[in-house]
Structures are given as C-alpha cells and as structure tokens.
C-alpha cells in the first residue's frame, strides 16, 4: 500500500536580471582586482627600483618622460570605450569606426610628440639634452596604445573581465622586466622609455587574441558622431585628468628642477597607490554594471553603496599602512630622498577626497552623465592653476597642501551629481565608507604600536605589517562577536555571490 505522495519542492525562483548583473559585477571586480594586484606589484617594483639605482636628478628625468607620455595618453582617451559600453546596441559598424578613429588619433599624437619634442623639453629647463631623443622614441608608444582590437570594448561591455586579465598583467610584467634589465645593466632613465614601448607591443598583440576581430578601415559618420557626442566629455575629462595628475609635476620640474620632480613624483605615486590602484579597481568593473541598471533606480543606489563601501575598505586601510611604513621604504633608496617621508604623509590626506571622485565617476558615466566627471575635474584643475604660484613659494610642502585643497574643490559638484543621477545624498555616500574608516583606524594604531616595539630595518617593517594585520583581524572578530559589524559575513556573502 502506497503512502500519501509527498509534493515535490517548488523549483527555485529564477534569478532576476538585476541580481545576475550584481553577481557578474562581483566576478568582474574579482578579476579586475587580480589584474590590478598583479600590475600594482609589478609597477611598484619597477617604479621604486629607479630611486634605488638612479639619483634624484636622473630619476627626475625619467619622471619627466612618464609625465609627458601621460599627458599625450590623456589626449588619446576619446571616450570610445565608455561610449561603446554605455550604448544599448553595438554592431560591426560602430566597432570598426571606433578602431579606425583611434588608430588615426594615435598616429597624429605620435607625430605631434616626435616633432614637438624640442618644445616639450623646454618645460624642464635643467633637463639634459638626452630628453629630446627620449621623448621622440617614446612617441612610438603613443601609436601602439591605439592599435588594439576594438573587440576589447565588447568584452568590457559584457563584464568578461576574466578574458581581459592577461591584457593587464602581461604588459605590466613586461614593463617590469625591461625596467629591471636596463636599470641594472646600464643605469639609465632610458629604461622607462624602452619598458613602455615593450609593454604596448605586448598589449596590442594580446588584444587580438583575447578579442579576435577582422576590422575594416571604416568611418561611418553617424556612428562616429554618436560615439563622439558621448566621448567628448570623456576626452575633456581625460584632458582635465592629465592636468590634475601631471600639471603639478610639470610645474615642479619646470620651476624647482629635475631633482625636486624626482622626489615629488615618488611621494605622490606612493601616497595615491591605494586609490589609484585600489578604488579604481571597482570603478572599472562598476561602470558597465551601472550602464546595465541605469533604468532601475533602486538597483543603481544599491550598487553604488556596495562599490563605495568596498572601495573604502581597499583605499583607507592601504593609506594607513603607507603613512606608517613610508620611512622604512625610503630607507632603501639612495641618499637624497629623505623629504619623501613627510611629503607622502601630507599627500595621504587627500586620499579620502579622491575616493569620492573614484566611486562617483563610474556612476556618472554609466548613467550617461560624463559631463559631471568633467566638471569635478575642472574644479580641481582651476584650484591647481590659480594657487600654484602662491603655494610653490613654500616648496614641495606647499604643493602638497595645494593638492589637498584641489581634491576638496569638487565636493559641491560631486554632491549635486549624486542627487541628480541616483538620488543619493552626501551623507548616504559617506555612511557607506564607515567600515573602511574602522579597519583603517584599527590597522593604523596597531601598526604604529607594533612598529615602535621592533628594531629598525625592512625586516622589522614587514613583521610589523603582518602582525598588525593579525591584530586587526582579531579585533574585527571581536566586534562581530559583540553584535557589531561583521565584515567576515560580508566576505562570505560575496563568495556565495561569486559561486552563483
């Protein structure tokens, strides 16, 4: 005799498109984080090896080349990648048009740097004669960085960051290897020129393997107009972004000399690592996701809170670690870099302010308002230009305070932009960052106390960094056990999301 039948459990509800996008964003952030972690480690090693081997003047010459390339690189950012990602429909005509236009732009800018090198070199009065041939050789990189496959835009649009991982890691590793070989073998700032060219060759070659396409030379005027309308704000923002990150370098090198530029460049690059290599990890993964949920206000708000909180957890504790351990890092440099320590700590003050722009820009661009990013950058640039002469009278310390003020200048536009695009208040945005402040405070105080109890030297610094991390994890477990914020549960929730 058969018993009563047991009803089958109902099938699990299908996941909504929005939850799928959140999961794909989390996966994308993971792959971007892996790429950025690898490239950051390689970049740190390549950048810091220069001060160890070269003197302040020779490293300042290398920094001048890096700054000029960054400026021309900003002019190549036509915004086509973001425009393709933000579009609802993409076809071969759009991709071929973007590919053709970028190649033309790269060739024009490469020629401009090659023939304009003597005039560019005059920005740095005490630069050696070698700077002109260095700049002309570096112009090759401007051409190469614009010949990659436009299929890469589609991979970004589809949140397929796993396939894009190699395009970030391989060029960074190539750059590091070339820098090490040339610096150790010849002890010349030319190492950074050769490294950039080698990295762009690798990046362009791999792009056609990651996203193979048979492009046609084609300039469809309607498609070009549509891409340019959106991309003009990205281009303008990139140009302003160059001024933000390099105007101070150009003015320091021109007014204070190559030696001062070498010191300032190290202090700025190291202090901004947590936000430039950390917070922007999530920005790269979040921008395509914001474009997918742009019609869903609640999903947009939820995604912004999550990306802002995660970015703060990366940037703020990292900044605390740099502020504590920068003396141990500078101790391995050649004599002459002692001023890097106080300058780095001053520049660390601007990181929380830069975090605001780092988390808002993908929201603005993903929702079709790149003009807001441009306006934020314009405020910062205006402060730098207006205040440089007055603050430069106080040397590099004055320049660092000017950078802080320029980072605070766009907060009004930032607050207004959040309200317009996501109906998000400034208080809501700040509230999302509090776990990052908690972890930064715990780690910073632990690192200071432990470092003071250990002997000087790089070994003591590494031991203190590890011990402070263990103490911080223990403190967080205590907070969770007492019923407070449970960061470990958030990590477990992220892992469950990634497994879906």
One domain, residues 374 and 420: yes
One domain, residues 283 and 359: yes
One domain, residues 439 and 357: no
- Phi/psi-derived region of residue 28, left when phi > 0, alpha when psi is between -120 and 50, beta in every other case: alpha
Per-residue tokens: 74 = 């900003």
Least confident of 339-343, 388-392, 481-485: 481-485
Least confident of 23-37, 393-407, 467-481: 23-37
One domain, residues 412 and 474: no
Q: Which of 432, 452, 471 is the last residue of a domain?
A: 432
User: 32, 285 in Cβ contact below 8 A?
Assistant: yes
> At residue 469, does pLDDT exceed 80?
yes
Q: What is the DSSP string of 154-185?
A: HHHHTT-HHHHHHHHHHHHHHHHHHHHHHHHH
User: 159, 28 in Cβ contact below 8 A?
Assistant: yes
Which pLDDT score is estimated for 426?
Answer: 94
Task: Render pLDDT for 329-365 as a digit per residue (tens, 0 to 9).
Answer: 999 888 889 999 999 999 999 999 999 988 998 899 8
> At residue 17, does pLDDT exceed 60?
no
Residue 7 lies in a domain: no
Mean pLDDT over each residue of the chain, to the nearest integer: 83
**Taking the chain, what is the end-to-end CA distance rounded to the nearest angstrom?**
42
Q: Which of 408, 432, 456 is the last residue of a domain?
A: 432
Residue 3 lies in a domain: no
User: 157, 149 in Cβ contact below 8 A?
Assistant: no
Which pLDDT score is estimated for 23?
Answer: 54
Q: How many domains does the chain have?
A: 2
Residue 2 lies in a domain: no
Residue 161 lies in a domain: yes
User: 165, 34 in Cβ contact below 8 A?
Assistant: yes
Alpha carbons 6 and 28: distance in angstroms, whole number: 42
Residue 11 lies in a domain: no
One domain, residues 329 and 438: no
The beta-carbon contacts of 102-107 under 8 Å, at least 24 apart in sequence, are 102/76, 102/78, 102/146, 102/147, 102/150, 103/146, 103/147, 105/75, 105/76, 105/78, 105/146, 106/76, 106/142, 106/143, 106/144, 106/145, 106/146, 106/147, 107/143, 107/146
User: 25, 293 in Cβ contact below 8 A?
Assistant: no
User: 147, 106 in Cβ contact below 8 A?
Assistant: yes
Residue 376 lies in a domain: yes
Residue 122 lies in a domain: yes
One domain, residues 475 and 403: no
pTM above 0.85?
Answer: no
Alpha carbons 374 and 365: distance in angstroms, whole number: 10
Percent of the chain with pLDDT over 70: 81
One domain, residues 53 and 167: yes
Residue 499 lies in a domain: no
Per-residue pLDDT band for 155 (boundaries 50, 70, 90) equals confident
Q: What integer is the mean pLDDT of 472-493?
A: 76
Alpha carbons 30 and 16: distance in angstroms, whole number: 21
One domain, residues 351 and 460: no
Alpha carbons 312 and 496: distance in angstroms, whole number: 22
Which helix (H) or strand (E) element contains residue 296?
A: none
> At residue 154, does pLDDT exceed 60?
yes
User: 358, 283 in Cβ contact below 8 A?
Assistant: yes
One domain, residues 183 and 265: yes
Which pLDDT score is estimated for 345?
Answer: 97
Q: Which of 414, 432, 450 is the last residue of a domain?
A: 432
Alpha carbons 48 and 70: distance in angstroms, whole number: 18
One domain, residues 343 and 464: no
Query: Could you say which DSSP state residue 455 is in?
Result: -
Task: Render pLDDT for 184-220 as a digit per residue (tens, 0 to 9).
Answer: 999 999 999 999 999 999 999 999 998 888 888 998 8
Residue 466's domain comprises 433-492
One domain, residues 392 and 463: no
Query: Could you say which DSSP state residue 148 is in?
Result: S
Alpha carbons 359 and 365: distance in angstroms, whole number: 11
Please enumerate in sequence order all residues whose Cβ is within 8 A of that of 369, keeping only pairs 6 or more positions apart, or say none. Answer: 417, 420, 421
One domain, residues 317 and 220: yes
Greatest mean pLDDT range, 14-18, 33-37, 79-83, 103-107? 103-107
Q: Distance of alpha carbon 137 from its chain centroid, rounded? A: 26
């Amino acid at each position: 005799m058969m018993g009563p039948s047991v009803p089958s459990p109902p099938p699990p509800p299908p996941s909504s498109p929005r939850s799928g996008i959140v999961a794909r964003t989390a996966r994308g952030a993971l792959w971007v984080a892996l790429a950025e972690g690898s490239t950051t480690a390689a970049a740190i090693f390549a950048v810091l090896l220069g001060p160890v081997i070269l003197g302040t003047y020779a490293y300042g010459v290398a920094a001048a080349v890096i700054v000029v390339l960054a400026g021309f690189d900003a002019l190549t950012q036509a915004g086509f990648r973001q425009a393709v990602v933000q579009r609802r429909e993409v076809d071969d005509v759009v991709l071929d048009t973007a590919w053709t236009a970028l190649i033309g732009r790269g060739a024009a800018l490469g020629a401009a740097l090659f023939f304009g090198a003597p005039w560019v070199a005059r920005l740095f009065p005490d630069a050696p004669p070698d700077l002109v041939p260095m700049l002309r050789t570096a112009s090759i990189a401007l051409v190469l960085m614009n010949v990659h496959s436009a299929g890469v835009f589609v991979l970004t649009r589809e949140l397929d960051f796993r396939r894009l991982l190699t395009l970030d890691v391989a060029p960074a590793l190539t750059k590091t290897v070339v820098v090490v070989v040339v610096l150790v073998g010849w002890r010349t700032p030319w190492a950074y020129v050769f490294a950039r060219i080698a990295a762009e060759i690798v990046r362009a070659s791999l792009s056609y393997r990651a996203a193979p396409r048979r492009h046609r030379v084609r300039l469809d005027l309607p498609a070009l107009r549509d891409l340019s309308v959106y991309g003009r704000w990205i281009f303008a923002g990139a140009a302003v972004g160059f001024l933000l990150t390099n105007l101070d370098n150009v003015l320091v090198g021109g007014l204070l000399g190559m030696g001062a530029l070498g010191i300032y460049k190290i202090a700025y690059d190291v202090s901004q690592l947590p936000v430039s290599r950390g917070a922007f990890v999530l920005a790269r993964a979040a921008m395509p996701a914001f474009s997918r949920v742009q019609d869903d206000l609640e999903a947009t708000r939820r995604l912004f809170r999550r990306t802002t909180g995660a970015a703060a957890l990366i940037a703020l504790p990292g900044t605390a670690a740099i502020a504590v351990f920068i003396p141990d890092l500078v101790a391995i440099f050649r004599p002459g870099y002692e001023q890097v320590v106080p300058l780095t700590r001053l520049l660390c003050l601007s990181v929380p302010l830069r975090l605001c722009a780092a988390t808002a820009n993908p929201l603005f661009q993903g929702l079709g308002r790149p003009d807001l990013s441009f306006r934020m950058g314009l405020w910062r640039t205006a402060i730098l230009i207006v205040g440089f002469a007055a603050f430069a009278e106080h040397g590099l310390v004055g320049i660092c305070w000017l950078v802080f003020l320029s980072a605070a200048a766009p907060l009004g536009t930032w607050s207004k932009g959040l309200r317009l695009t996501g109906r998000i208040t400034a208080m809501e945005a700040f509230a999302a960052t509090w776990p990052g402040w908690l972890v930064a405070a715990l780690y910073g105080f632990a690192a200071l106390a432990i470092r003071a109890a250990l002997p000087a030297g790089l070994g003591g610094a590494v031991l203190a960094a590890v011990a402070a991390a263990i103490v911080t994890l223990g403190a967080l477990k205590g907070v969770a056990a007492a019923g407070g914020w449970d960061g470990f549960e958030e990590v477990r929730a992220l892992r469950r999301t990634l497994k879906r």
